[in-house]
Amino acid sequence: MFRFTIAFCSVALCTHTFATTDTIIERYTVTSERAFYDDTLERIFPQYRYHQANIVTPNHINDILLQSPSVNLNGQGGQLQNINIRGFSRWRVQSLLDGVPVISDRRAGSSVGFVPPSLIESVSVVPGATSTYLGSGAIGGAVNLHFGDFIEPHVRLSLSDNQHMQEYSYADALGSMDWHVSHRHGANGEDANGRELFDGFEQTSFFLRHRSEDSAVEEAWALYSDNRDIGKSSSDFPNDRITIYPQNKHFLGKLRFSLSGDDQGNNDIDVGVKGSVWWHHNTLDTNTLRPEQRINESNSEALDFGASIGSKALVGHWLTNWQLQMNSREGVITDEREFSLPSESLAYDIRTLDASELNLAGVLDASRTFESISIAGGGRVDWQQQSHLSNDVTNTNVSAFAGVSYAISSRFSASVYLSSAFRNPSLTERFFNGETPRGTVLGDTTLATEKATNVQATLYFSDDAFTGSIELFHQRINDYIERKNVVDSTGEDTDTLQYQNLDSATIEGVTYQLAWRPSQSPWGAQIAGAWTQGEDDDDVPVADIPAHNQRLTVSYDKQQWRWFGSVIYRASKRDVADGERPLDSVTTLDMGITLALSPRLTVNTSIQNVSNQLFYASTDDRAAFAQGRRIQLGATLLL
């Protein structure tokens, strides 16, 4: 049983949104649409938002997400590196861009690295099982990337010494339209010992948005991102395996509409119908060279699209939400070729995946406040059909949640959140049979759906100087799916992996966050951390469990300039699963400063990994070392 040693007892959160920035200035009369479930969950469950401005010059969206103690890096490095939330990763975490699901058929799961960090103002993190609202992909939690409410016209330049990274961006606005153009380029970086990392990339993106106050269509946006020559930072490079992604293209967008309704004279609650339509077309090419052996190439593409419609209303004293959702995946295709070396003759050319998927779901929730007690509950009915050639697999799942929050005093409140969740096997886990950078991988059409139950207890606190929270969580997953080595007739492991159901696994731990900001002081500080453990029924560690970690950030804001310093401690980790390596403890330091030279010109500089520590970015046994010291310079000119 996991035992906790907690050094902080008086931490909590009274505002149900934890944000590490102090002031958010509204610059436009139309504000971003909140997720429809926020009104319900914020009564019982903390909603966390982290702002880009806190870290000066992020090189990757993951840099913004790592401000959350629940988020860690997972898998191998580079622009396509994915994240981990409380020990859940790959297809168990749902990534969204303004509510649009980002789905990938990579075995490592989806990555949001195709989004330029300069386009994102903040990110929200919802840890824990959230299948009721977000479906199969959110059994372990979700992250949502938020555009700024208003794109202020500007030109921006950013440079970095490690990786020789450059970013040029331009943004402008005209009436109800705004747009953002960005070009980013990075060569291969170096670790702390000066060894080359295969993490170069080139990225060009264009974002366009239209917003209206007097139309049924409130907002429409589109993002095109062209990513080229993306290196996979791996310990296999360069002797054993070199993997590069020559092309990774994304074209996605969303249209949000509202049909006004009668507020029923109660608290201005709009009972009109709101909805959205979204799409995401993506392609990914992969080339893997095994020196003196063979070259494997794959080309993947998919079109994901969906729609939702719903409304809210007061039923008696209960605030209710309902929503109908449709998500579909069409043309999910992977083609593979192998060339023998040194002749480069074609060994085979086959299609390893040709599948589609349709999801239909209905969601209903209700919440109410009784003086010092707030309660909420909801449920989801989900139907899915996956198809591969003539093989159809159908699943029907039900998930639900219930929670209660109690205001102990004007400063303290506590809550308990219970939820069930599910995750249908992905198209890749069911139907894929082919070669990957990690070796041959086989799917299994008989895989069972993962089922989970989640319990979370939270204590909140807030006064004039402090806000914070501490959360204890316990999640049990039945029919947990993992890739396992296939053994040959002699009992020896082969280079072939196959997806299999384990009996069950348990993941549990504690996270905390504490922020100090006196009202009349330019100084501020935040401290956060997490302890996580995961095992199957045989007490064998499961994959993707992160090492315990703590982060302390101190900042100083005064008039034209802001300074911050962050100390990040990651404990050693010895209990690892198949395909993982033990980690040593490491402490790193990041620093940054922003200075407004004039009302229109702002410059900044930051240093990551100041003491040039050598450490692996994750427990993946093929992960390379993280980048060494990195110095960044940036300038923004308002137009």
Read off the pLDDT of residues 353-410 as tens digits, 9 standing for 90 and up. 899 999 999 999 999 988 899 999 999 999 999 998 878 899 999 999 999 999 999 8
Share of the chain above pLDDT 90, in %: 52
Q: Region 133-154: what's the mean pLDDT?
A: 88
pLDDT of residue 37: 61
Give phi and psi for 241, each to the nearest 5: -160, 135
Q: Which tens digit of pLDDT belongs to each residue from 523-548?
A: 999 999 999 999 888 888 888 899 99
pLDDT at 264 > cutoff 60: no
Q: What is the 3-state secondary structure (H, E, C) of 266-300?
A: CCCCCCCEEEEEEEEEEEEEEEEEECCCEEEEEEE
CB 273 within 8 A of CB 256: no
pLDDT at 19 > cutoff 80: no
Token pair in block for residue 395: 């699943």
pLDDT at 424 > cutoff 60: yes
pLDDT of residue 77: 81
pLDDT of residue 8: 29
Topology given in CATH for the domain delimited by 17-638: Maltoporin; Chain A (2.40.170)
pLDDT of residue 33: 58
Q: Which tens digit of pLDDT belongs to each residue from 79-108?
A: 888 899 988 888 889 999 999 999 988 877
- The angle formed by the CA atoms of residues 432, 434 and 440, to the nearest 5 degrees, is 115
Q: Which tens digit of pLDDT belongs to each residue from 168-199?
A: 999 999 888 999 999 999 999 999 999 999 99
Q: Which tens digit of pLDDT belongs to each residue from 22-35?
A: 333 232 333 445 56
CA distance 197 to 193: 11
CA distance 379 to 389: 33
pLDDT of residue 26: 30
The torsion region of residue 75 among left (phi > 0), alpha (psi -120 to 50) and beta comes to left
pLDDT of residue 620: 87
Sorted by where each begins, the domain ranges of the chain are 17-638
Q: What confidence category does residue 208 fall into, taking pLDDT thresholds of 50, 70 and 90?
A: very high
List, as one string, the DSSP characters of 9-47: -S---SSSEEESSS-----SSS-PPPPTTHHHHTTTS-E
- The angle formed by the CA atoms of residues 76, 144 and 381, to the nearest 5 degrees, is 105
CA distance 361 to 603: 48
What does pTM read for this prediction?
0.87
pLDDT at 219 > cutoff 90: yes
DSSP summary character for residue 81: -
CA distance 305 to 277: 8
pLDDT at 239 > cutoff 90: no
* Mean pLDDT value across the chain: 86
Q: Which tens digit of pLDDT belongs to each residue from 472-513?
A: 999 998 998 877 777 666 666 667 888 888 778 899 999 999
